[in-house]
Structure formats: structure tokens, C-alpha cells
Amino acid sequence: MASAGDQARKARELTLREFLTDGSLPGLCAAISRLVSAPVELRDEQGRRVVYRGEDADPTWTIDEHASPPGAVCAGELWAFGTRIATITRSEGPFKLHPEPAAQLDEALRRLGAGATETVQSLLELRRALGELGVLFELTSMLVDGEGDTKIMQRALDSALRVLALDAGSIVLFSADADDTTLPEEQDLERRAAIGLSDAWLASPEALSHGREFDRLALSGEVVESPDLREDKRVRIHQQVVNEGVVSFLSAGLTFRGRPMGLVRLYGRAPRRFTETDRQLVRSIAQQSAAAVQQSRLLAMRRREREFARQARLAGEVQRRMLPRELPSMPPFDLAARYQPSFEVGGDFYDFFETFAGGRRQLGVVMGDVVGKGFPAALLMSNVRSALRAHASGVNTVEEVMERVNRDVTRDTEVGEFATLWFATLDPEALRLRYCSAGHQPTFIVRAGNDGVEELTKNGLVVGVDADVHYGSTAVNLGKGDVLVAYTDGVDEAMSFAGERFGRWRLHEAAADAAKRGASAKGVLDHVLWALRQHIGLHQRPDDVTLAIVRVTR
């Protein structure tokens, strides 16, 4: 807000010249001078005489450098912001009426009327400008309030009709996911606000103009107007126009950063030629409305994103509850596992559980990786895990479990949906491992004593592709101090900031280094994850990371 000092400085800069437009006031003074046969003069802020040059002159007035003559009497003053910007002076007399006083009086009164008309017109323009500013302020406030599309459009339409003194209108929006290059059909537009229009008019699928000319011009940036739709050759539904009683028409496109978002259509009940001010106002209303709609949509999107994030967190919690809360105790096996999803939910999983094979108590170990990420992968992961748990409790061999899981998953998946799976049973008495792999990363054993690494490379087809595939199993003996490492591809394929993979050899080296120092299963797990973090550094981890460690302690 301007200070008092700023206002004073502004006032001192005002001059009479800024307010003399058509010369009505100097003309009035000249007419009175002729009426009374004595000088009546308008003088500016410096006391210079303003000379009326006549209606045919351009400009009709000029400023004479002569100062007030001696004996001039100040009869009136013009003030602005506390500063005198003009005076009206007269001579001391004598005064004598003009030979034709009526004609001169009429001339003076005509000049007075012209000046008053100019003042009234200025006041009306000021009043309208204030109304327009009020509308734009109201629309701008909607950007801050973040109201919904419908409420924004209703307020914008009501304001536009009120300020433009029109009778009816509507605002239609394109859907948020509409194609920017194609103008939707009339029946596909979303009518968000309407005032003064019948249901029949609003429900009509017919466009107002031939070839949607009005809409195309409005969306190209023009303000479309028609003084009388009844006489406009561009209109294609003349009878509906007559029935509705709409006559004059004004329309502008709602666009935001070049993207079309909708249309504002305004109607009057009588013929009307619109001014440039009318066109500028409806363009401003359309622009502000488009910005408000965009803001509203962004806020709605953020609310949906927050809700989606909340749902994702809940889903992640449910998924993590599907992993073993406590690892089973089955000496001589020391167990450790870790699952780190790249999102709230993921497609990796591991499992440890007790099972029986040949009447002997066994330790079941599972490592799986579903193709993809997010909710689809998480749903398929839960399906695979549930199927494996169900079948592992009722059959004897790992290959039978894998084949039954594969049939179940294939029945419930679409093309492109599959999972890699590694399933093994460990005999705690015979220290013997039997495994079956369905396209999974090769689990490996760090052998005690020689620090050698043995990869379990026998592999089969991923589950979920071919329901009739047959799997085989392989048996491996374990010894005291051996460390079994099962993992998903998020471990060996993790990338450094320089674009280098962690790789299997670094994984083998990290696990062997911890095993050689006699680390527990958790110690091996922590050391491998530490080496992985050192390799990745600041680079974003794009995939889930899952590790399961079994160390033979006897």
C-alpha cells in the first residue's frame, strides 16, 4: 500500500493536461465569455491560460504561456489529491450580455452537458473496472482456496454474467485425461456450471455452430462473439436458438499453458455489440478459471496420491506380515534373512518353515522373485507363497511341490506374469540339502575350510508359463561351517553410481569373507548388505533386495 509520502509525490506530478480530453471545460469557459462579453478563462496548475480552439481543431484546445492578467478574479478551482491543478478566472467586469444571449447560453449549457457526460462516463467505467477487478480477485482467491471444479466454475460463471450484464451461460470442461489434439464431441463435454439455460438446451448433443467453428476459434485463443445468433450464418441450430431465447453470444476457451481445458459460453436475451473491454474481461475470466481448475485438479491428484501412499503402506505392512515373523529353531542350522523392498510393496519373498520328507523332520527354505514391482507383483507373490506353503505340507519331494505350484500359478496368471522360485529342504540329521530351482538366481554354498564357493546351478523354467513342465531336484551334502546363501536379482544386479553391477563375484567374496571369520548367519547377512551399500553409494536402488542365510553350526 502506498504511503502518505508516495501519494503526495504522486499528487504533485498531476497536471491539468491529463484530464482535458475533448475540450468540454475550455469550451464551456469560452461560451460563458461570449455570453457575458468578458474573459472567463481556464488556467492550468502553473497559471497558464487554456485556449479553446474550436470543435474542428485537433486538438480542440491548447495552452498559452500568458499568465493571468491583472485584475483577474479566481472564480473556481479544481483539486486532486489535495493539490490544485487548475483555476477558473474571470475579469472584474463590467459584464454585458451577448446580443444573442439564448444561443450563447445554449452553447454554454451544451458544453456543461458534455463535460458532465464525460464525468458520468468516467465514473461508470471506473465502477465497471472495479467490478472486473472484483471478479478477477474472486477467481484468483479460488486458486488459493483449492475448491472443487464444480464450485469454481459456478462462481466464475455467476461473476462473469453479473459484470458483463448478460443473462445466461454455461462452462464446460474436458475430462482431465482428454486428448489435447482432439476436440471432444458436444455430448462428451462435462457441464460444470449453467445459469439461465433450459435442460433441453444443456442436454442437446448438437453444436451451436457449423463444424464447431465457435469452439475451435475460442480454443485457438480468440474471443468469439455474435451480436445476434438469429442472424448469424455460422449458427446451425437456428430453431433451438429461437426456442431458447438466446440472442447475443460471447465465448472464450479455458486453456492452461497451451492445453485446452474447456469453454465458457455467455448469452444475452437481446442483440448486443460487445466492446474490447468485454472481450478482454471474458478472456481474463477464462484464463483465471483455467488456472483455478488446474490448481483444483493438482490438489485432487495430491490427495489421491496421499491416499494411494497410505494404502501402499498398509499393503506393505500386510505383505511383511506374510514373511516369517520368527525364524524356526532347527539345530544345527543358524538362520538369518532380510527383505528390503524398493517400494512399499514388492515381488520378492523368502520363507523358512518346518516340513517332513520320508517321515523325517526337515527345514524348508524358499526364495522367490515375481516379475515386476508394486501391487501386481505383490499380489502374485502372495499367490505363489500361499500355493507353496499349501503343497509343501502335503507331498514329499521338492520337485512335486514345484510342479504343483507351477500349475496353480499358471492357471491364475496372464501372459507376461511369472515368478522365479528356489525351494529346498535341509535334513538336520543327514546334513543333506535337496533343491529345485525354477529360473532363479543360483544359490551358492561357501564351503568351510577352503573358502571355496559352490554354485547350485541346476535350473528349470520359471513358474507361471507352462503348466505341464516337469522339474528335477538335486541333492548336495553340507558340512560343519558351510554357509548357504540364497538371494534375488536385486542383490547381484544392483548398480553403482558409475553404472557398474555388484555382480556375483562381489557377493561371493563378501559372503566368503564373513564366513572365513566365523561369523554367524546374521553376521554374514549384515556383512553382505554392508558391502552392497558400499557399492551402491548414493545411487538409487531400483529393485527389491532379499537375502536368506543358513549356516551349519555342527
Least confident of 24-38, 117-131, 142-156, 173-187: 117-131
Q: What is the mean pLDDT of residues 340-350?
A: 73
Q: Please report whether residue 19 resides in a domain.
A: yes
Assigned C-alpha cell, 549: 542365510
Are 150 and 256 contained in the same domain?
Answer: yes
For residues 486 and 369, give the distance between their C-alpha atoms in angstroms, rounded to a whole number. Answer: 12
Name the residue with cell 458483463. 164
Indicate whether 179 and 118 sit together in one domain.
no
pLDDT tens for residues 481-532? 999 999 999 899 988 888 899 999 999 999 999 999 999 999 999 999 999 9
Last residue of a domain, one of 94, 126, 158: 126
* 353 shares a domain with 490: yes
Q: Which residues pair with 87 in a beta bridge?
A: 43, 77
Identify whether 102 is part of a domain: yes
- CATH, residue 442: 3.60.40.10
CA quadruple 181, 186, 191, 194: dihedral sign: positive
What pLDDT score does 181 carry?
64
Which cell numbers in the block locate residue 112?
Answer: 456543461
pLDDT score of 140: 60
The pLDDT value recorded for residue 343 is 62
Last residue of a domain, one of 266, 299, 332: 299
In a domain, 482, yes or no: yes
Q: Is 155 a residue whose pLDDT tops 60? A: yes
With a cut of 70, say whether residue 124 has pLDDT above it: no
Residue 358 has pLDDT above 70, yes or no: no
Contacts of 346 (CB under 8 A, 6+ apart): 319, 339, 373, 374, 377, 378, 381, 544
What is residue 49's predicted lDDT score, i.e. its pLDDT?
85
Q: What is the pLDDT of residues 386-404, one digit of tens each?
A: 888 888 876 668 999 999 9
String of DSSP letters for 339-401: EE-SSSS-SEEEEEEEEEETTEEEEEEEEEEESS-HHHHHHHHHHHHHHHHHHHTT-S-HHHH
Has residue 327 been placed in a domain?
yes
Mean pLDDT of 104-117: 74
What nine digits make up the cell of 147? 475448491
Same domain, 10 and 65: yes
Provide the pLDDT for residue 178: 59
- Name the H helices within 367-502: 374-392, 398-412, 489-492
Judge whether residue 344 has pLDDT over 60: no
In a domain, 133, yes or no: no
pLDDT value of position 8? 46
Sign of CA dihedral 306, 308, 310, 313: negative
**pLDDT at residue number 133:** 56
Same domain (yes/no): 380, 502: yes
Q: Could you tell me if 473 and 539 lie in one domain?
A: yes
* Whether residue 106 sits in one domain with residue 201: no
**Is the pLDDT assigned to residue 272 strictly greater than 90?**
yes
pLDDT digits (tens, 9 = 90+) for 314-342: 655 655 666 677 899 999 999 999 988 77
pLDDT class of 456 with cuts at 50, 70, 90: very high
pLDDT, greater one: 54 or 437? 437
What strand order describes the sheet that includes 453-455? 333-340, 545-552, 483-487, 444-446, 453-455
Report pLDDT for 460: 92
How far is the CA of 550 from the CAs of 341, 352, 453, 486, in angstroms?
21, 10, 14, 9
Structural contact between residues 215 and 207, judged by C-beta atoms closer than 8 angstroms:
yes
**pLDDT recorded at residue 455:** 95
Task: Identify the residue with better confidence: 189 or 507.
Answer: 507
Q: Could you identify the residue written with the cell 507383483?
A: 377
In the predicted structure, residue 1 carries a pLDDT above the cut 50: no
Domain that holds residue 65: 4-126
Q: What is the CATH number of the domain that holds 217?
A: 3.30.450.40
Does the residue 304 lie in any domain?
Answer: no
Are residue 219 and residue 272 in the same domain, yes or no? Answer: yes
Residue 11 confidence (pLDDT) = 47
- State yes or no: pLDDT of 540 exceeds 80: no
For residue 170, give every residue at least 6 positions away whose Cβ sits within 8 Å of its Cβ, in sequence order, or none.
Answer: 157, 191, 193, 194, 195, 197, 202, 264, 265
User: Once rounded to an integer, what is the mean pLDDT over residues 14-42?
Assistant: 82
pTM for this model (two decimals): 0.53
Q: Are residues 200 and 346 in the same domain?
A: no
Do 250 and 328 belong together in one domain? no
Q: Is residue 132 assigned to a domain?
A: no
* pLDDT mean across residues, the chain: 83
How many structural domains is the chain composed of?
3
Mean pLDDT on 269-282 = 89
CB 38 within 8 A of CB 91: yes
Instruction: Return the half-sphere exposure (C-beta side, CA atoms, 13 A cut-off) of residue 494.
Output: 30
What's residue 149's pLDDT? Answer: 65
CB 372 within 8 A of CB 341: no
- Between 503-516 and 521-536, two packed helices, what is the crossing angle to 10 degrees? 140
Q: Please, which residues have CB within 8 angstroms of residue 64's CB and are 6 or more apart in sequence?
A: 48, 49, 50, 51
Q: 523 with 473, same domain? A: yes
Q: Would you say residue 135 lies in a domain? A: no
Output helix, strand, coil percentages for the chain, rounded to the nearest 5.
Answer: 40, 25, 35
Same domain, yes or no: 113 and 233:
no
Answer yes or no: is pLDDT of 198 > 80.
yes
Q: Which one of 238, 267, 299 terminates a domain? A: 299
Confidence of residue 67 (pLDDT cuts 50, 70, 90): low
The predicted pLDDT at position 130 comes to: 55
Residue 548 has a pLDDT of: 96
* Average of per-residue pLDDT across 266-283: 90
